[in-house]
Amino acid sequence: MSTSLDSILAEIDAGAAAARDRLVDWLRIPSISAQPAHAADCLRAAEWARDRLAAIGFRAEIRPTAGHPCVVAHHPGTGSGKAPHLLFYGHYDVQPADPLNLWTSPPFEPAIVDGPHGPRVVARGAVDDKGQVAMWLEALRAWHAVAGGPPCPITVLLEGEEEVGSPSLDAFLAANKAELAADVAVISDTGMWDIATPAITTRLRGMVYAQIDLFAAARDLHSGLYGGAALNPINALARILGELQDANGHIQIPGFYDGIREVSNAQAAEWAALGFDEAAFLGEIGLKTPAGERGRGALERLWARPTADLNGIWGGYTGEGGKTVIAAEAHAKLSCRLVPGQDPQKVAAGIRQFVTDRLPPDARAEIAILNTTPGIEVLADSPWVKAARGALAAEYGKPAVLVGSGGSIPVVESLKRLLGLDSLLVGFGLNDDQVHSPNEKFELTCLHKGARSHARMLAAFAGGFAP
């Protein structure tokens, strides 16, 4: 395998400029899933991916959904019957580019500019997720050119609605369960620890998202005529929500911490060895003082502990000038980031109890749970992680670190629940890539070394173990 792999890596090196040009071509398509005016662009982006896959030996199709289409492609592989079947997942849709005036170049006219790590491409979708999909497409292209195809059977699933919450994905997965069967899902939509240190994400936080609506009087009231006699729902809601955390950052929702598994000593030691600079992390956003649970390390708080954050609160008069009114209602949005072991439904029930237990007389609350997903943990000693760590170490000359993510990737939960698949999360983005922001970028060295890493991982999966 080593001689063949050397040839494949040489093919990737020789084709680096062409790989960049192919990515730039895809980035020119404004596949904004959130905006109906770009529905045709989403289809064009899907067709682009289908055609690239077909050109390297895949049987590739555009498949309709209730929303934007999926791309599904298959290759039988060239290896032995013992090689594992891989499902490569990604998405071709991108976020809206607003505010346009903050971009240094038009968001869908990709610009190659110099940076501290060499050239980078600046465009919407550069890293999330077209650039990261392009990495494994280039690895597959090299395997096709040198060996006639990848060493493992591969299914590709690209969706076009990830940036709007994947509303059509679960139904598509359920309807195509047999066709999408595999041994593991490979996803590149995460990041590295730094430009020189690869990472595998083994923890993702889940989510419970709620809207809390509190009602009192039958109508808005004059604060001079009723103030001091009538319940003010804004005051009441602010008082309730002010009790979400105690002085030590401990969340007061009933049963909130039930089931949480503590981080192992080995994992805690590995995170501590990363030398995370919390002061610099906060300083970049104009802050100085850490928040959250006291007595917990910075990375533990970011990756392995749950949160409860108010994302919006409103009610009454918010325009210019004054209006002396006691509003009839008040509202808030609350998001709870969950970690492995927490039951989203139990947390949702706890939110309802937390609010109702504190309601004053004459107040009525309505609590809508808008989203629930559990936290995800991938076993650090799984054969997939071990094989990927070996491949990444060979490429970067140092071990890949096992990291967590404070965010959520809902498809990971969907793939597990509907297809029974664990996910291997190996990403090559950087913290300063400005995901979802103006001037999103992707370092070309990450594109290139990411493609080489995926080529190495394919060799490791095919030759290293049987699932």
One domain, residues 142 and 25:
yes
pLDDT at 380: 85
Tens digits of residue pLDDT in 264-300: 888 889 899 999 999 999 998 999 999 999 999 999 9
One domain, residues 359 and 219:
yes
pLDDT at 466: 41
One domain, residues 212 and 342:
yes
* Residues sharing a CB contact under 8 Å with residue 211, sequence separation 6 or more, in sequence order: 331, 332, 333, 334, 367, 368, 370
Among 373, 408, 424, residue at a domain's last position = 373
Percent of the residues in the chain that have a pLDDT greater than 70, as a whole number: 99
One domain, residues 387 and 405:
yes
Mean pLDDT of 293-313: 95
Q: Where are the alpha helices (DSSP H) in 276-372?
A: 278-283, 298-303, 344-356
Tens digits of residue pLDDT in 75-115: 999 987 789 999 999 999 999 999 999 999 999 999 999 99
Q: 3-class SS at 103?
A: coil
Biggest CA pair distance of the chain:
86
pLDDT at 79: 82
Of 138-142, 223-227, 266-270, 396-400, minimum mean pLDDT range: 266-270
Domain annotation covers residue 14: yes
Mean pLDDT of the chain: 95
pLDDT at 81: 79
Domain annotation covers residue 300: no
Computed from CA positions of residues 291, 296, 299, 300, in that sequence, does the dihedral angle turn out positive or negative?
negative
One domain, residues 60 and 146:
yes
Q: Between the CA of residue 301 and those of 101, 268, 409, what are the distances in Å? A: 35, 12, 18
Report the domain count for the chain: 2
Domain annotation covers residue 283: no
pLDDT at 408: 81
Domain annotation covers residue 299: no
Domain annotation covers residue 175: yes
**pLDDT confidence band for 335 (50 / 70 / 90):** very high
One domain, residues 198 and 213:
no
Task: List the structure tokens of 82.
Answer: 């013992």
Range of the domain at 175: 2-204+375-464
pLDDT at 464: 59
Mean pLDDT of 153-178: 97
Domain annotation covers residue 38: yes
pLDDT at 332: 98
- For residue 113, the domain's CATH number is 3.40.630.10
Among 351, 373, 395, residue at a domain's last position = 373
Domain annotation covers residue 276: no
pLDDT at 12 over 80: yes
One domain, residues 190 and 217:
no
One domain, residues 59 and 144:
yes
One domain, residues 78 and 191:
yes
Q: Where are the alpha helices (DSSP H) in 275-409?
A: 278-283, 298-303, 344-356, 383-396
Among 373, 401, 430, residue at a domain's last position = 373
Of 130-139, 159-168, 377-386, 451-460, minimum mean pLDDT range: 377-386
Paired with 420 in beta bridges are none
One domain, residues 186 and 328:
no
Mean pLDDT of 141-168: 96
One domain, residues 160 and 84:
yes
pLDDT at 417: 94
Judge whether 164 and 399 are in contact, CB under 8 Å.
no
Residue among 207, 204, 309 at smallest CA distance from 251: 309
One domain, residues 126 and 22:
yes
In 282-363, the DSSP E strands lie at 309-314, 325-326, 329-338
- For residue 341, the domain's CATH number is 3.30.70.360
CA angle 451–70–60, rounded 5-degree value: 65
Domain annotation covers residue 452: yes
